[in-house]
Chain A
Amino acid sequence: MIDYTLMYKGELPVEGDWPPAVRWDVFVSAYTSAERVQRVFRKAAAESRHWLVFPEYGFTPEKCPAGAFASESRDEAEYVRSFWDNSIGDIAGRTVGIDITGFIRPYLIFMLRWLAQRGVRRFDALYTEPVIYAKREQTQFSDDVVVEVRQIAGFEGTHSPDTSNDCLIIGAGYDHQLIAQVAEHKQFSRKIQIFGLPSLRADMYQENVLQAYRAEEAVGRHTADESNSYFAPANDPFVTANTLRQIVTRIDALRPITNLYLSPVATKPQVLGFALYYLTERLNTATSLIFPFCEAYNPETTKGLSRIWKYTVELPPV
């Protein structure tokens, strides 16, 4: 059984130069106006660097950086396929670095499946922690308009008609509307929430829980039950993946899970952990990654830049 925490996780200096060994053949980042995204892009050394402009951020062409890849497609598979075919091509033997900080979650998740499918076995993911969220616990990352809740392409599973012990694990973030919509969508399943603890900053955990409580009615009977709340560090994808496995193993042992749904609406490192766990252990099982797709996202929700993480992700063969 793989221990995800054996994968490498380290920090890069916020100020000053990065070690010369930190460089890639291909570097990809999602364009936002946040300082933490722009600074990392400037510092990243790579043969080719690519900005992705997601339609949900609403940037007009004149506001996009020169040479950025932009597409109006909101289908994560179509978008990533189109970017890759147009800008990257054959990846064999090339190293890949991805700054996941500004990525919109479904695109990031599908990107992992895409890389695995293309034979990439290892890549570096960068994530930059903010100093604070701009409006504390009231920060809205999405525009609150959930268009639909559905599975993410490539993470769709083979499900069972027996729905008697379905389970939904939510990586709970600040957007309580997103939590509520996902819980509503899989209303018949047992719901479990993973909160980010330790959080990125000391006060963020309290803010996180306060927001998640607003989705209490949708999450249902298990909200107040402590055995249905779990914790994983907000900045650690590998512990998140391990935590997911522990939760699933525990529930499965009590009574086999009929269908499992995973919904990461929390921090990007946790999203990474969810996707990694799925690809490694749940592919082609009765498991799906589901997500509440929003019409628009706020491209600037944070202030400052406190730590830069580098995660070396090992992907399984698929």
Chain B
Amino acid sequence: MKDAAQNPFNITKAVDFSDQEIHDYWVDMPTGDSFSSMAKPTSPMPMLIVGGKGSGKTHLMRYFSYPLQRIRHGRDLLEGIRRDGYIGIYLRCGGLNSARFRGKGQPDEKWDDVFAYYMELWLSQLVLGTALDAVGEMPEVLSREPNIVRDLLSLVDLREHTSPKSLWDLNLLLRGLQKELDVAVNNSGMTGKLPVHITVTRGDLIFGIPKVFAANLSPFRDCLFLYLLDEFENLSEVQQRYIQTLIRERQNPCSFKIGARTYGIRTLKTYSADEENKEGSEFEVLPLDTILRANDRYQEFAKRLVAKRLAEFNRVPSNVETLNSMAQSLDKHFEEFEKSPFGRSETAFVTDKYVGRDRPYFKTLRQNLEKGLDADAARGLSVPDEIEKAIALLRCPEFPLLEKVNIFIFYREWSKCHNLQKAAKEIADDCRAFLAGTLKHGRYQTVLEYFRADLLAQLLRETDQRQRYVGLTTFVEISSGFPRNLLIILKHIFAWATFNGEFPFRGTPISIRSQQAGVLEASEWFYRDSRMIGRQGQHVMDGINRLGTLFRGIRFSEKPSECSCCTFSSDLSRCTDVARRVVDLADKWSLLINVGGQRDRNTERVDAKYQLNPMLAPRWDLAIYRRGVLALTPEEIDAAFNPEHAGKFDEFAEKRIARMAAPFFGHARRPLGGLPPERTQSLFADGDYD
């Protein structure tokens, strides 16, 4: 265990922040797309703010809440609220403990009514409490209070309760009614009975309180009462249906912002004649992580977030300018490999490590060629000496990365049943010309450009080195629009650096060793943490494990079909319902990221396309940048994601990877003459099931 007490990234969740910290740690997008312009707090149109865990929903919603308005505006609170044009009433749905509104021998319909009533009492207390906190001291309140109380009491069936004289008493009455209901609900488990008298009609207080306040008190005259309902995923489908009904029946001066995880919206149905709310008509959607991911300035925003953390932690005052300048200089705090032509410095360790002995990739190539020779499946090579000659031609000792390029192209030629002697000579010529700078275009250049990361990853693996996920830019990329993931990566890196005796962000850059350990630990955390509740969670994780294994198999094969293989496409409409459902859940739990559609090369059909969340890349040594797309057949998707078809997965995966493995490249073991003709598929083709 590492000491994390003095770690600026120790807090990774908005829920762990106090209101003051939410204010202090707030960072907006660099320019243009500010969070306010995205979330539109003054818009009467309700909004669903959806995003995966750690996308910043809670931070955003709390930023618009009344306690934060209070901090922002200080003594000028009412003037500030007037300028803001809204007052934010923040509610965590988790606090409702909504799971108790079911079962206990009561019919579902009864629970629907009881929950709606409970929600009415709960939200009423919040809006009343918030408004009173804002204007409670105003003389205007004292003079208008009897009128306000009278208007509000006309909405409540008081029964035997004493009529409250003040707004505070009214709030106590609502609290008392809620307590009565709590006791009835809780006891129903033992008594089997649920005696409830509903005293308020649905929506009367939720919309009524703001209306009465706006009509009677000047600070609220043109003010929107913004209900900020966070953690919406904690409500069941029927409970959400009630909220959807409130959205549909919304009355001025009220609006809603609903914060939910991507999987958390269970229904859009309402109780208003069973109508369904429609995006654009009744609500709009803010898909937070998708927007952040797609934003060109996400890198900039994320680095400012880090800079803000460090500034607050070190108690350094920061404004926009200092923050920007800090953000720009952050990269230097992370050790990285020096960039050099043809990866010389990045691969220097190979030259040092294998002095006087064969490099492992040549050893493997030799073994493969010997097998090919034995099986008569290495066209152009007939005696062992010729193997050595071919290998000698592929050598480029000063530049191990180019040796990997040579071997990769050689394997490609082999898979097409070309003459290997000839191929080796051509590759050697290309390599020489490329080094001399006379080869500007063509396959050599393209292979290096597209497969550089994969070949380097292979090289690291073959030489027993850890994969290199290093540098702040890389970590921001890995976070994929989830700021929390970035903070968690940095938290682990900081902890490892401290553990290793370094002084992160105070002098010497954080070592590559600490970065590697931290990012791997963060990846393992993400893997554990992303597991959804319930049996289906296991199915999702099983599917993700199979997919990760397949991607890894491809990346480290002799002739990977796709570069940076971490994305797949498929015609999901032809998959089983179960597989579709599991893929959908993996998407909603952010294990897969939907990256739009992929046009199938043969049919023009647009297939679904998903990237494995880059947070998981270190777990399987995969690329974090998306390039090639693996087109999977519906049968393969079923084998990966449908537990009933999982038995076929190994066979499918082996078959697919065998096409990329020497010496047979998926061809049946047969004499040379029987090998099929060359295939003409493009090296970088996205599709075609290979």
Contact = CB atoms under 8 A, between A and B. Distances in A.
B190 A148 contact: no
Interface in B1-36: 1, 3-5, 10-13, 15-16
Interface string B470-498: 00000000000000000010000000000
A146 interface: yes
A3 interface: no
Given A159-B95, A217-B488, A224-B10, A145 B534 contact: yes
Contact of B190 (A77, A181, A284): A77
A217 B487 CA distance: 11
Interface stretch (B181-189, B302-310, B368-376, B615-623): B181-189
Contact of B537 (A145, A156, A159, A223): A145
B535 A187 contact: no
A161 B529 CA distance: 28
B189 A153 contact: yes
Interface residues of B, number: 47
A225 interface: yes
Given A151-B97, A154-B190, A220 B16 contact: yes
A158 B100 CA distance: 12
- With most chain B CB atoms within 10 A of its CB, the pick from A114, A154, A163, A213 is A163
A145 B94 CA distance: 21
Contacts of A163: 92, 95
B344 interface: no
B19 to A, nearest CB: 8
Given A117-B190, A187-B13, A221-B16, A156 B92 contact: no
A110 B525 CA distance: 34
Given A156-B186, A186-B94, A188-B15, A161 B99 contact: no
Interface in A112-159: 113-114, 117, 144-151, 153-154, 156-159
Given A151-B97, A221-B11, A156 B529 contact: no
A125 B535 CA distance: 34
B197 to A, nearest CB: 17
B632 interface: no
Contact of B183 (A75, A162, A181, A284): A284
Contacts of B129: 161-162
Interface string B104-148: 110000000000000000110110010000000000000000000
A162 B96 CA distance: 11
A295 B186 contact: no
A77 B231 CA distance: 28
Interface in B226-266: 231
Contacts of B92: 163, 188
B89 to A, nearest CB: 10
A214 interface: yes
B681 to A, nearest CB: 43
A181 B100 CA distance: 18
Interface range for A: 35 or more
Given A77-B190, A147-B533, A161-B91, A213 B97 contact: no
Interface in B511-553: 525, 528-529, 533-535, 537-538
A156 B10 contact: no
Contacts of B125: 161
Contacts of B384: none
Interface of B, secondary structure class, is helix
A185 interface: yes
Nearest to B99: A150
A151 B99 contact: yes
A108 interface: no
Nearest to B58: A188
A214 B192 CA distance: 40
Contact of B529 (A148, A180, A213): A180
Interface string A183-195: 0011110000000
Contacts of A185: 94
A75 B103 contact: yes
A257 to B, nearest CB: 13
Contact of B182 (A110, A114, A117, A159): A159
Contact of A161 (B11, B12, B95, B537): B95
B178 interface: yes
- With most chain A CB atoms within 10 A of its CB, the pick from B12, B125, B178, B533 is B533
Nearest to B191: A117
A166 interface: yes
Nearest to B175: A160
Given A147-B533, A151-B100, A156-B185, A161 B16 contact: no
A267 interface: no
Contacts of B175: 160
Interface in B447-490: 488
Contacts of A153: 100, 104, 186, 189-190
A147 B537 CA distance: 10
Interface in A253-271: 259
Contact of A145 (B11, B529, B538): B538
B179 interface: yes
A77 B189 contact: yes
B1 A213 contact: yes
Contacts of A224: 3-5, 10
Contacts of B16: 220-222
A154 B94 contact: no
Contacts of A28: none
Interface string B160-188: 00000000000000010011001101100
A146 B533 CA distance: 5
Given A77-B104, A145-B538, A147-B533, A113 B190 contact: yes
A218 interface: yes
Contacts of B183: 158, 284
Contact of B186 (A114, A154, A214): A154
Given A151-B100, A161-B122, A224-B3, A217 B190 contact: no
Nearest to B1: A213
Nearest to A220: B16
A156 B190 contact: no
B70 to A, nearest CB: 12
A220 B122 contact: no
Contact of A158 (B10, B96, B123, B182): B182
A114 B190 contact: yes
6 contacts: A161-B123, A162-B129, A218-B529, A220-B13, A220-B16, A288-B97
Given A159-B96, A185-B94, A188-B15, 16 more contacts: A81-B192, A146-B533, A149-B533, A153-B104, A153-B189, A154-B190, A156-B186, A157-B97, A158-B183, A161-B91, A161-B95, A161-B123, A181-B533, A187-B94, A188-B92, A284-B183
**Nearest 7 Cβ contacts at the A-B interface:** A158-B182, A153-B189, A150-B99, A77-B189, A156-B186, A221-B16, A188-B15
